[in-house]
Structure 1
């Protein structure tokens, strides 16, 4: 037999070895993570439930899911052991990693403009505010351009036929 005929089998065996090695590594990491659990740790089950570990046994874990709710789970059903900050952020909505209150952006954009004057103060001082609303043709200034000032009756019969989708308009 030549090396060329054995090469596909060698590559296949090598790929299988690498795949089983990575799977064993992931399993070992999951076992180590589950062994880190101790009472008071926040966890997420593989079903997506968040709870606090109350008691750890050999194959089972007693979880506290809320006031008066204790659940017994298999250790293998724990999907992740969470840090205290992450558990509080997800379950209670508490953010502990905020640097200061000064970094928080307010809900409105008033502080981003650099002035504290309101729209009423600006109007009182004589500044004109920009009106972005749609205006009627009667409200438009005399020097403003008008888009389509011709009345509808001024159309000729030929134009009316073409706009109506007559046989000539193709």
Structure 2
């Protein structure tokens, strides 16, 4: 028999081996992550709920969702164990310094004023745009 006949089967077996190996590695990492949970750890469930671990049981955990509000979740429902600073940033909101905060106008009047913050005269710019559009459009056939 020729080895070329067995090559596709060997290739398929090799691919299956590497796929199962990577899946087992992901399962092992998820198990390690779930085992690292301790009371006081912030977590995110696979459904997107953030909570603070209050108690770790054999197959479940007790999460504090809000102060005084507790819920029991399966350990398998935990999608990520978060670092303390990341959990605080997500739950309590990120604080931006004054220079980092985006400038958002309270109303549309700043968008329609004669000059923008950059010092561009918006009315003159609109007139120039209209004139340029008219010059480009005058060459069309009627």
TM-score by length of 2: 0.70
Structure 1 residues 89 and 131: alpha-carbon distance in aligned structure 2, compared to 1, 3 A threshold: closer
For 1:24, the equivalent position in structure 2 comes to: 24
**Alpha-carbon distance in structure 2 between the residues aligned to 1:108 and 1:29:** 39
Measured after TM superposition, the shift of residue 134 of structure 1 is 3.1
Segments of 4+ moved more than 6 angstroms: none
1:1-170 alignment to 2 at 5 Å? Answer: 1-94=1-94, 105=99, 132=121, 134=123, 170=142
User: SS of 2:123's equivalent?
Assistant: coil
Task: Look at both structures and tell me which one has the larger radius of gyration over its CA atoms.
Answer: 1
Structure 1 residues 134 and 77: alpha-carbon distance in aligned structure 2, compared to 1, 3 A threshold: closer
Structure 1 residues 50 and 107: alpha-carbon distance in aligned structure 2, compared to 1, 3 A threshold: closer
Measured after TM superposition, the shift of residue 105 of structure 1 is 1.6
**Alpha-carbon distance in structure 2 between the residues aligned to 1:31 and 1:23:** 12
- As a proportion of its length, which structure holds more helix? 2
Structure 1 residues 106 and 12: alpha-carbon distance in aligned structure 2, compared to 1, 3 A threshold: closer
Structure 1 residues 24 and 55: alpha-carbon distance in aligned structure 2, compared to 1, 3 A threshold: same
Structure 2 gap segments, 5+ residues each: 104-118, 125-130, 132-137
Q: Larger RCO: Structure 1 or Structure 2 (Cα < 8 Å, ≥ 6 residues apart)?
A: 2
User: SS of 2:99's equivalent?
Assistant: coil
Structure 1 gap segments, 5+ residues each: 110-129, 136-146, 148-162, 164-168
**Alpha-carbon distance in structure 2 between the residues aligned to 1:12 and 1:64:** 48
Count of paired positions: 113
**Alpha-carbon distance in structure 1 between the residues aligned to 2:45 and 2:101:** 35
User: SS of 1:63's equivalent?
Assistant: strand
**Alpha-carbon distance in structure 1 between the residues aligned to 2:38 and 2:54:** 8
